[in-house]
Amino acid sequence: MAELVGALGTSHIPAVGVAIDKGRTQEPYWKPYFDKLPPAREWIAAVDPDVCIIVYNDHATAFSLALIPTFALGVGERFGIADEGFGKRPVPEVEGHPDLAWHLAESLILDEFDLTLVNEMEVDHGLTVPLSVAYGQPDRWPCRVIPLAVNVVQYPPPTGNRCFRLGQAIRRAIDSYPGNERVVIFGTGGLSHQLQAERAGLINAEWDAHFLDLLVTDPEAAARIEHIEYLREAGSEGIEMVMWLIMRGAMNPTVREIYRATHVPTSNTHNGLLVLENT
Ligand code: DHB
Ligand code: FE
């Protein structure tokens, strides 16, 4: 039986990827954030998962207004790195796990979560920056990756509650997989940020901390937070945080918080990092 061995939450700020790619992590702006990464990197190196299910959002890269899947599961053999306008990031291609991904597809769809299935797509900073946060700059990623893309770009995104229930269904799927893979699930994006309009630059570290507290200790309450509260408190792009509820839903009702760090600001965003294990 496959085993879910932990969860890692992280923001996916593009400038973090640039800082890593260009060797700027020790510069004064970057050092205080990168100094907070080692416990999370040491944790994932020790846990050494075979597969990471990365819950992320595409930023009008693989998808666009032409096609808006609410939940899209990557079932392909591999996923190329997208050129988001400045050339492809110099990171390894992402190797999929089609067998587990198709098992997830079957289990989730029969469990009444009607996913879009994707054989071919390129992945953007929403997925590659979390991998770089977790693993640095290896020649190839140490784990296979199953991408789960969530629409948080075009309203209406899924509710936090729907995301939490999807996470629970993902857990049932992992638990029923006959392989012996060790799996980590990533929740990515957020925390508070707004990149546009009158409130551009908004950060609400206090609300984010409250969200993370609820996420860890009372996820059912976190799942009840409505879109309007994310918008009001965490800004227009803060809605990315619903993806952390998919991660949390996959974990046990009670979890151990292994590590938490946040940093204000990175680029325009309250940068979050969270590691959980099942109790
Ligand atoms: C920033 C944050 C994001 O989540 C994103 O997708 C793009 C940019 C930022 O803070 O610059
Ligand atoms: Fe984003």
* Contact indicator for 50, 3 with CB cutoff of 8 Å: no
pLDDT, tens digit (0-9, with 9 covering 90-100), for 80-107: 999 999 999 999 999 999 999 999 999 9
Counting ligand 1 atoms within 8 A of each CB, the residue from 59, 124, 267, 271 with the most, and so the one to mutate, is 267
Distances, alpha carbon 14 to alpha carbons 58, 74, 148, in Å:
12, 22, 19
Q: What does the DSSP 8-state code read for residue 159?
A: P
Phi, psi of 109 (to 5 degrees): -70, -40
Which residue type does 141 have?
Answer: W
* Contact indicator for 76, 146 with CB cutoff of 8 Å: no
pLDDT, tens digit (0-9, with 9 covering 90-100), for 208-262: 999 999 999 999 999 999 999 999 999 999 999 999 999 999 999 999 999 999 9
Give the Cα separation of 192 and 158 in Å (integer). Answer: 18
Which residue type does 6 have?
Answer: G
Quote the Cα angle for 18-22-26, to 5°.
Answer: 95
Give the Cα separation of 190 and 238 in Å (integer). Answer: 5
* C-alpha 269 to ligand 1 mean position (Å): 7
Give the Cα separation of 269 and 214 in Å (integer). Answer: 20
103 Cβ closer than 6 Å to some ligand 1 atom: no
237 Cβ closer than 6 Å to some ligand 1 atom: yes
pLDDT, tens digit (0-9, with 9 covering 90-100), for 11-44: 999 999 999 999 999 999 999 999 999 999 999 9
192 Cβ closer than 6 Å to some ligand 1 atom: no
Give the Cα separation of 64 and 61 in Å (integer). Answer: 7
SS3 state of residue 225? coil
pLDDT, tens digit (0-9, with 9 covering 90-100), for 110-134: 999 999 999 999 999 999 999 999 9
- Tokens 């974990």 found at: 251
Catalytic positions, written as ranges: 125, 193
Which residue type does 192 have?
Answer: S
270 Cβ closer than 6 Å to some ligand 1 atom: no
Give the Cα separation of 106 and 123 in Å (integer). Answer: 23
- Tokens 């792009």 found at: 237
Quote the pLDDT of residue 122: 98
pTM for this prediction: 0.99
Looking at 48-113, list the stretches that DSSP marks H as alpha helix, in order from N- to C-terminal side. Answer: 98-110
* C-alpha 243 to ligand 2 mean position (Å): 11
